[in-house]
Chain A
Amino acid sequence: MTVYLRQVAAIVRKDLLLEVRTGERLAAMGALTVLVAVLFHFAIDQGLVRMQLLAAGLIWMTILFGGMLGMGRTFEMEREQGAIQGLLTSPVPLDGIYLAKVVSNFVLVTLIEVVALAAYWLFFGFNYGNDPLLLAGVLGVATLGFVAVTTLFSAISAQTNMGQTLLPILIFPLLVPVVIFGVTATGRIFASRPVQEVEGSLYLLAAFTVVALTAGTILFRYVVEE
């Protein structure tokens, strides 16, 4: 088990080191996140709609688009110089490779969420409610589910000649539960509603995340194995 964890940690560390060195995925994701917020500013007539009421939905759509952009490259960056073959023929179990990629993508998307929250606060003065801990918990659980699905499908889209074009078509139908529960839960947190009103959505988000992670861990091998 400890060997397994060390192998997973090695891949996470390598991914993050590459990200720190090139910054390519993070830069693209961050830029898109801010730009989507700018576009929403001009797309919605704020004389008619109170933006705060849409806050949860806007932020979730922004996270989805920004996160997907970077995660689509999860395995494409491994294919250059055949490094993916080096990984697949190493003693690391295949589910370990999947979990490592989930962890490094989770870190990236979490950073994007901070950018998104900051951008919306700056541009629209959104009020994020009075329970930052609960907000972090909801965002964390939902992000893990989002990342679990998207990581599996980025391994699929990387093996097609449509590449990242295919990714949203594959993941959006499956991510509808994340959007439903995520928006409901964060919307209520933003409105500073009592915890009891958030709990139900949080549990269902957790259920989705558990199912997605389990399915990804089991099915990943069939996606990459020969």
Chain B
Amino acid sequence: MSLARIRWMATVLGVLGVAGVLVLHWLVFFWVGTERTMGIVQRIFYVHVPSAWVTFLAFGITALCGAAYLWLRDERLDWAAQSAAEGGLIFGAIMLTSGPLWAAYAWGTPWTWEPRLTLTLLMWFVFVGYFLVRASAEDRQAGKRMAAVIGVLGALLIPLVHVSVLWFPSLHPQPVVLNVEEGPTLDADMLVTLMIGLLAFTLIFFSVFFLRYGLEHLRYQRALETRGQPRAA
């Protein structure tokens, strides 16, 4: 993909995404019905679930591109992995703050060691490590490989933590949100709002992703240009 094409895509996706988020907020505040048992606070759900979805999508892309990078050593795969991981970190932070805000009311406690909560928190920390390793690697190329290894391991964690927390004998609440996720129990207006949220967040993620990817592309080109100039001996 050429740089101009990447920029164009990032812009289009960004404009659509921002429009989507504006519509989403209008719907959340003025249109969608209030959930009966949880009341007004349930509306956080329309931000929380889309950000969770994008977080998993992003970390999935990072793991896949990282594994492919180790195999093929194409720099573009590393740009993609890094760009997705940054998006994942941001949307993960949104998910990890919006979740407890809602849970504090819905569950009566901001945090519980429910499998999905534990899993996402740990994954988020794995990807913090991903960037720490990239930033502190003595050799930039080694940093890319090591980060890719961490990305792959982060993805491996998913099934293990899932099983492990199910087995953990202590607190094991049945999440209330599970009922809402079963399609039929969700009212049509809620479903529409949720779908728009998912779409808008996904568009914004890919916009940021392509912007970030384009930046790496640009840096690479810049470095290639300097290659031609004589180095200090």
Contact = CB atoms under 8 A, between A and B. Distances in A.
Interface of A: 152, 156, 159-162, 166, 169-170, 172-174, 176-177, 180-181, 184, 200-201, 204, 207-208, 211, 215, 219, 222-223, 225-226
A211 B160 contact: yes
A166 B167 contact: no
B72 to A, nearest CB: 12
B149 A204 contact: no
Contacts of B141: 226
11 contacts: A159-B137, A166-B132, A169-B128, A170-B132, A172-B125, A174-B126, A180-B165, A184-B168, A200-B167, A204-B167, A223-B149
A162 to B, nearest CB: 4
B118 interface: yes
Interface residues of B, number: 34
B157 A174 contact: yes
A170 B133 CA distance: 9
Given A159-B146, A170-B133, A219 B153 contact: yes
B43 to A, nearest CB: 31
A184 B138 contact: no
Given A174-B126, A184-B169, A211-B156, A223 B145 contact: yes
Contacts, number: 87
Given A173-B157, A177-B160, A215-B153, A223 B167 contact: no
Interface in B115-160: 118, 122-123, 125-126, 128-129, 132-133, 136-139, 141-143, 145-146, 148-150, 152-153, 156-157, 160
B97 interface: no
A169 B133 CA distance: 10
A166 B136 contact: yes
A173 B126 contact: yes
Contacts of B165: 180
A173 B129 contact: yes
